Structure formats: structure tokens, C-alpha cells
């Protein structure tokens, strides 16, 4: 039986927390998502214009489309709210620009849209909008960083907790910090294999050490050396703590030398 909805099925509910949030899983079926997008299209010409292109997308990205439209229809009185329906120099709203990008990216760079969905799933509405706004300049379509998006997806929740834990509704400082970490890994000069090690390294060192993300993901040190050093980085971090110091884990993993 065909799905018949009278109103769009939404995910975000009423009042929203600011900061790093963990949204509940999207349980809408493919058919429900299609109907939801069609219902949004009744009141938005840009969504209506997009509808024929929905067939060009992978169904797994329908949720991202529905979420983005919902974000565009959510408004806050906070000074940092971003109007995705606001016009751009392209003659379309930010929403319209994103809806142009999504079908191409879904086919040609699906890892980028998987990453975008992960951002929405782990950040507040303002940060999600900020991310989408900042990626309309060709980032989501850049196939040169396809593997970077895939390797970095598990880091989204970590980046959110690192930068959004003390939300400031008056400035974009938190969002800029979140994007700074994101750009460190979604970077053509970074190595996806090294990006994929970041979570494991963080698990090993916890709060016992620190490292600059660029030191690891931009490193040219042979991967075999970095992986060997990972075997002992936790123990060395403990030794430093016992001596009242914090280990620079990036330098240790790249050089395995005591710099202190």
C-alpha cells in the first residue's frame, strides 16, 4: 500500500539543545521520506524544482535531503541562526544551492553526503546549518577527498564534543572551531590512512596526552613507524603523567623520541 502522509515526517521535534547532541536514529522508510519531501515541495518552489532529481540520488541520502529541508524550515531567535532560505549570489537560497549539489554528490561523491548526515546526527541545528553553508563551495563535490570523508566520519562525534561542549549562542566561535577540525582532515594534503588512526590514538591516550591533528594527518613518516609507536604511546603517556608532564603524542608517534 502506498504511503500517504498529510504532513511531513520530521526528526527534530520542538525545543532543541545547543552543542554536541546525539539525535535519535532516522526510522523513516524510503517511501515516507519521498512523501515527506513532496509535502515540503508544496510550499517551496525550489524543493518542487528539485523533485525530479530525487530519482538520481541513492535512497540512503533521502534522509539528508529531508533533514536539510526541515532545518531550512526551522527558525530561531538566536543571533547565530542561519537562514537556509536566504538568497545567495547564485540567485537561489542556500537550500536551493544544496539541493543542486546533493544529486551530483550522491552519485559521484557519496562519502561526502554520508559525512554531512553524520554532522546533522551529532550537532545542534545551528552547527548543522553552519556546516552545510560552509560546504556549498565545492567541498561536498570534491572527489579528491572522497576517502578523507570516509575515514573522518567516525571523528564527527569526537569533534562535536571537543568544540561544542560549552555552546555560545551569541557567536559562531564554536562552529568555526568545529569546522577548523573538520577542514584539518577534509584536506587533499591529509592522508586518509592516518585519519583512520585518529580515533584509535585518542582511545589509547584519553586525557593523558595531546597532539596537533595536523602533525599526524599531514605527516610523511612511514605508516609502519607510526603504527609501531602506537603500541607504546599509552604507556609513555602514563610515564609523562607520573612526572607531571603531558606527552606530545603527535611528535612521539612520528619520531618516537623524548622531546623533553
Identify the weakest region by mean pLDDT among 46-50, 71-75, 86-90: 86-90
pLDDT tier, 257 (very low <50, low <70, confident <90, very high otherwise): low
Average pLDDT over residues 55-67: 97
Residue 47 and residue 174 in one domain? yes
Residue 135 resides in a domain: yes
Residue 173 and residue 229 in one domain? no
Residue scoring higher pLDDT (62 or 2):
62
Residue 178 and residue 219 in one domain? no
Residue 57 and residue 71 in one domain? yes
On the question of pLDDT at 258 being above 60, the answer is: no
Mean pLDDT (the chain) is 93
Whole-number pLDDT of residue 111: 98
Instruction: Give the chain's domain count.
Output: 2
Residue 55 and residue 151 in one domain? yes
- Three-class DSSP category at 235: helix
Residue 184 resides in a domain: yes
Residue 48 and residue 142 in one domain? yes
Residue 3 resides in a domain: no
Residue 34 and residue 147 in one domain? yes
Residue 72's domain comprises 30-188
Residue 171 and residue 202 in one domain? no
Extract the C-alpha cell encoding 226.
Answer: 607510526
> Are 253 and 229 a contacting pair, CB within 8 Å?
yes
DSSP-assigned beta bridge partners for residue 255: none
Residue 9 resides in a domain: no
Neighbours of 212 (CB within 10 A): 13
Give, in order, the Cα–Cα distances in Å from 109 to each of 139, 207, 235.
10, 35, 40
Residue 71 resides in a domain: yes
The residue out of 188, 206, 234 marking a domain boundary is 188
Whole-number pLDDT of residue 4: 85
Average pLDDT over residues 141-164: 97
Residue 21 resides in a domain: no
Residue 25 resides in a domain: no
Extract the C-alpha cell encoding 227.
Answer: 603504527
Residue 69 and residue 133 in one domain? yes
Whole-number pLDDT of residue 78: 87
Percent of the chain with pLDDT over 70: 97
The residue out of 134, 157, 188 marking a domain boundary is 188
pLDDT, tens digit (0-9, with 9 covering 90-100), for 236-247: 999 999 999 999
Residue 66 and residue 141 in one domain? yes
Residue 146 and residue 210 in one domain? no
Residue 182 and residue 204 in one domain? no
> Are 110 and 62 a contacting pair, CB within 8 Å?
no
On the question of pLDDT at 92 being above 70, the answer is: yes
Measured torsion, CA atoms of residues 217, 223, 226, 229, in degrees rounded to the nearest 10: 160
Extract the C-alpha cell encoding 173.
Answer: 566561535
pLDDT, tens digit (0-9, with 9 covering 90-100), for 20-59: 999 999 999 999 999 999 999 999 999 999 999 999 999 9
H helical segments located in the chain: 30-41, 45-50, 62-72, 94-108, 110-122, 125-134, 146-152, 156-164, 173-185, 192-195, 198-205, 213-217, 223-242, 249-255
Residue 216 resides in a domain: yes
The residue out of 188, 205, 232 marking a domain boundary is 188
Amino acid at each position: 500500500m502506498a504511503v500517504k502522509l498529510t504532513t511531513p515526517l520530521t526528526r527534530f521535534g520542538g525545543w532543541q539543545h545547543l552543542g554536541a547532541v546525539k539525535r535519535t536514529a532516522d526510522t523513516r522508510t524510503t517511501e515516507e521520506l519521498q512523501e515527506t519531501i513532496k509535502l515540503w515541495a508544496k510550499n517551496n518552489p525550489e524543493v518542487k524544482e528539485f523533485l525530479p532529481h530525487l530519482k538520481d540520488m541513492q535512497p540512503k541520502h533521502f534522509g539528508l535531503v529531508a533533514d536539510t529541508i526541515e532545518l531550512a524550515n526551522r527558525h530561531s531567535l538566536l543571533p547565530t541562526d542561519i537562514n537556509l532560505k536566504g538568497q545567495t549570489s547564485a540567485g537561489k537560497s542556500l537550500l536551493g544551492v544544496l539541493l543542486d549539489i546533493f544529486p551530483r554528490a550522491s552519485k559521484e561523491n557519496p562519502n561526502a553526503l554520508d559525512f554531512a548526515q553524520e554532522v546533522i546526527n551529532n550537532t545542534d541545528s545551528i552547527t548543522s546549518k553552519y556546516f552545510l553553508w560552509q560546504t556549498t563551495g565545492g567541498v561536498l563535490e570534491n572527489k579528491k577527498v572522497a576517502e578523507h570523508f570516509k575515514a573522518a566520519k567516525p571523528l564527527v562525534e569526537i569533534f562535536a564534543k571537543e568544540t561544542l561542549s560549552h555552546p555560545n549562542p551569541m557567536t559562531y566561535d564554536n562552529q568555526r572551531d568545529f569546522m577548523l577540525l573538520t577542514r584539518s582532515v577534509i584536506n587533499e594534503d591529509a592522508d586518509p590512512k592516518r585519519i583512520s588512526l585518529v580515533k584509535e590514538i585518542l582511545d589509547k591516550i584519553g586525557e593523558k596526552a595531546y597532539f596537533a591533528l595536523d602533525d599526524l594527518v599531514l605527516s610523511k613518516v612511514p605508516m609502519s613507524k607510526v603504527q609501531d609507536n602506537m603500541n607504546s604511546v599509552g604507556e609513555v603517556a602514563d610515564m609523562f603523567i607520573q612526572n607531571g608532564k603531558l606527552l606530545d603524542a603527535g611528535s612521539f608517534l612520528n619520531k618516537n623520541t623524548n622531546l623533553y
